[in-house]
Structure 1
Amino acid sequence: MGRLATVAVSCLNQWALDFGGNKRRILESIEIAKQNNATYRSGPELEICGYSCEDHFFENDTLLHSWQVLVELMIHHSASDILIDVGMPVMHKNSTYNCRVVFLNKRILLIRPKLVLCDSGNYRESRWFSPWRKLRTVEDFYLPRIVQECTNQTIVPFGDAVIATADTCIGYEICEELWTPYSTHIPLCMDGVEIIVNSSGSYMELRKNSIILDLIKSTTFKNGGCYLYSNLRGCDGQRVYFNGCSNIVMNGSLIKVGTQFNLKEVEVICATIDLEDIHSYRNSLRSRSNSSSESYHRINVLDFSLSRETRKIPDPILTNFECLSAEEQISLGPACWLWDYLRRSKQGGYFLPLSGGVDSSSTACIVYSMCNLIYQACKDGDKQVLTEVRCIVGQDNYFPTGANELCNILFTTCYMATENSSSQTKQRAEELSSQISSYHLSVVIDKAVSAIISIFVSLTGKTPQFSIYGGSPRESLALQNVQARLRMVLTYLFAQLMLWVRGRQGGLLVLGSGNVDEALRGYMTKYDCSSADVNPIGGISKSDLKMFLKYFRKKYSLSAIDNIINATPTAELEPLIDGQITQSDEADMGMTYDELSVFGKLRKQNYCGPYSMFCKLLLLWGEQYTAEQIAEKVKHFFRCYAINRHKMTILTPSYHAEAYGPDDNRFDHRPFLYNVMWPWQFCCIDKKVEEFNNKKTEVPRYHLPIESNRDGKYAVNV
């Protein structure tokens, strides 16, 4: 008695303003859906133009080219006899909306605008789009002439409506509408809509993916129905990497789910469902059956059915799916992001100053992970990846024999030593390079450092000294910065010319390797090796990087990582004593990396200023430190943060991973000029310390768990 329908969701690696490429990928997804006998195909948010067009959404060209692509999609033979929705910007009454355009057999059925826009995190949708405020309301939309000529339509419905076929009812919520307290799917389901289609542009953050799946499963568990979730995957020109994991969920259970990280540009997930299962499940929810809901306007398509006569059986519930761990996400996400940057920039590979520390070694391992993904994709017959690899290496018939061979071709590393560098770090860099097979160089830059200092001495008659030799702190810091900045100059020289040396065309992209905690603290030299083209670990904490390295060492049997993890983090910019390192990152910073992570979460995710951060840490750290010690830690952090905040304006574009990232350019919009003494705020802290010490009663102390909330953000619960 069942009514079986096969539905398809798409995961596409689109590129902002790449209209031709985006059209090709959409058509491929439609063709795959048709091959699987799907009668409905959905795709990701703004898939026609690409999600990250940003201020290009203000340009009429973006709107025009989106309509042009839509017309070519509609008239393509693959688009016949299948219900399709695609994402694009649409201007209605001189306001631009983020829309889904639903069409069938060269006729537009509905243009559905987004109701709730996202402006948190890296999102700024209300800068370019207007939200549709007229709930359950439809207006006439006058089609552009190029569309009229294709569809023989002049006016189509525009607004908050649903599609009624001969056998079911389909409604829409777009990305952020799933996350809102009163989500769109609630009134849709209460009005009898059986299939909810969500087209999303959700980017990756560590540990976020399980939250999305839980939200969707909860949605259909409470309401019944089938939920189709299509998401972007990949880097379409920004710091974020879209999360993938398009999925199909029914009546609270996961039916099909796609991969989170993959080099495939097109992935289509199909599932066969029984519409009768929705009816029986909902009918059993007696609290739902006793409720009433205001009706939506229905676009009737009564000559079309999603269900078909088939010998298929409904797809079973997926019981063994597990989300990737944070270590796996770090291994795969930035690697895919780097691949997108490399192939789309048309450069010849990557260059990394490899110091032998946790940060640069993590970056090297991520590049090695990228090479493994590329090799596996070629081995599995991915023609798109193979074509692009051949273009990068400049050999038409090239086929990689292994990841290590690829790494030697695509990845150049260089240990840049001074008299302050130790033999231990040099050895660690060489061992890791040997095990991943990067093309490795080692050079001593003391002559360049001495030449620069000699220019200053000859001009001023003064010779700066390190503090260990009696110099002032500013002399010592200047001497350290000269080494760091010269490394950046040499890095770009090598990156531009090393492929010329090796007889290949093109240049190398420079990789940065500063972690999110160092950026937050400002523990880096402006325009040193923190200045690069892209930084795959710039949004990842030190503690997560160490966890990742342990996982990576086990996965690829890289014994060189053992010594790297156990080494004390150091910049190696101050003189050695008896050949041994005396400088330590945590000593220089005046705080540990674990403390930095807590500061970062409280500052960004809990929106704490100095005073409220102190009050929370008084509870969190009260058993470890005195109130005075906690106060000094908070003050020291905010002084350093304020002094170095200007560095965030020139931060290398980094892979976004942690929700407390300090990236000024897109994510963390705050001033870069502060009163570094924070006089009012610190005075409030001092009063609180005095008040705390004068209290006779004991303040209850307990540890506050750090948990993730629904947006994948991690906060200290108070």
Structure 2
Amino acid sequence: MVNRYGFVRVGAAAPKLKVADPVYNIKEIENLILKAEDENAAVITFPELSISAYTCGDLFGQESLLKACDEAVKELCTFSAGRDIVIVVGAPVSFMQFTFNCAVVIQRGKILGVVPKMYIPNYSEFYERRWFSPANTYKADEIIYCNEKVPFGRDILFQSESFEELTIGIEVCEDLWSAIPPSSYQALSGATLLLNVSASNELVNKAAYRADLVKQQSARLIAAYVYSASGVHESTTDLVFSGHSIIAENGVILEQAERFERESSLIVTEIDLLRLNSERRKNLTFRDSEEISSKNFRRITFKQKKAELKELKRMVNPHPFVPSDVESRNERCREIFNIQVAGLAKRIEHTGSTKAVIGISGGLDSTLALLVTLKTFNILNMPAENIHTITMPGFGTTDRTYNNTIKLCRALNTNFKEVSIVEASLLHFKDIGHDPEILDVTYENVQARERTQILMDTANKIGGLVVGTGDLSELALGWATYNGDHMSMYGVNASVPKTLVRYLVRWVAEKEMDKDTAAILFDILDTPVSPELLPADKSGQISQKTEDIVGPYELHDFFLYHMMKYGATPKKIAYLANNAFKQSYSTDEIKKWIKVFYRRFFSQQFKRSCLPDGPKVGTISLSPRGDWRMPSDASANIWLEEIDNIK
């Protein structure tokens, strides 16, 4: 139901109903509750007036129907006795001279509260004011309902005692369609899970609009939103309903019901409440809105047991930086590439430079940097020969990367130069007394710094600007030589994760290049990721593969995303990774690499503290001037100890 990582499983139901038959309807509702319990749901939401059906019309003025609805609610209370699940149903609630269209909240045999509809539609096909009063026409906090005194009003939130992040706010159908929905105030007062009991009828294009409305409200309020709508068995006198239930979280629709189902339907998925709270803590605009707009809400508490939920129903994207569908991915690549180009163009214009210098290795990062630079020079109407591409073969350079470098630079018509670093590195080994047979960090870093010296000095000589090639994933892991490839005059890839670099290069190859140049880029895409600082193997192939040393970049990008975006703990990230990568990596492998990630992330902050400028392209950035301010001497102990305790 609710687990220790902040996930609460929720359901939205559309029962098969008979209009004005509460006895039949309550049985369908109870059957769906049992199904939701089997799914370990903590909360289930039913449609508007689901006890009676929405389209009863003037029958809502009949005492027989109203009493039958009350009896059905009593039956539901009896059914719920001993059950943890929070049940939210729609019912007409009549007392004194009023009848209200309400959401009734029930758990463990008790009515926790009754929330009346605020906005009563009375236009086009809707005539609800004929039967129902709006919430503000009754000022008392309680009513006598089903023979007991229960909380009543639009100012009620339902707060879990077992899991403090779970606070439920409720609105009824039209409330969401108003200019300022009640859920706005509910969220600003702490509600994280918003429920809507609805009977929205179908019209052409209304389903898409409805989904957008739910999605946008969940995004605006940094909340989860569960929308349950009446199904096809409502009256079809003039209106048709579809059972369009929706579960959204912070602007993302997690689950939608198939519309026009003939049988009762139920959708169930998890909401990540800790993620929502993390987003709210970081969003100063949300906090400022709370000060201005929050209302006084009563909180009604309830208790629930916690559940393990070892496997999640919701899809955990193993590649959160990379859209899964091709169209969205291509659009993401186009947008990022244009941001990179615009950033570099501004820097070139500001400095008055007419030349750029890039070290080209035949790898993905330097290839992307070159493609960005080429496009930049194109839009600035500067010739490609003003881009000085320098390949600097060393002890580990292989024929494949070397040849791809030459072919690419020639195909792009850049000013190409080759400068071997072998002799200079050997001389430097001699100067510092290092044995070149010892293939340690000194052996590697001498080469990286020699290359950077060549690039910087060339830039000084020609009046150019050194374009950096390192990416976000390398910065997170500190996989760069301090004052070597770590340094440049402008780092165009600084906030592009490694998992996305590959797709960007592929996108440029497919959308921007001729067939022959694209073929070179495709071969670069197929080359293993390597700094090529250690000698090749006996067959002349790359011996030093980055992911064999620091771990798979798809895992590290996953860890980085959830740590940075949501402040998730290592245990929660490992839990998510086990769900996302269960077909690819064992729990032990995930535990091994997440420990490497945290150890390196903390120990390598000193490199990030003095990064060159570079364009921010997404929500995750490690710039010390903007998104990530962390002391270089912070201890990683509490994170590493938590990882050690992962079972």
TM-score between both structures, scaled by the size of structure 1: 0.43
Structure with larger Rg: 2
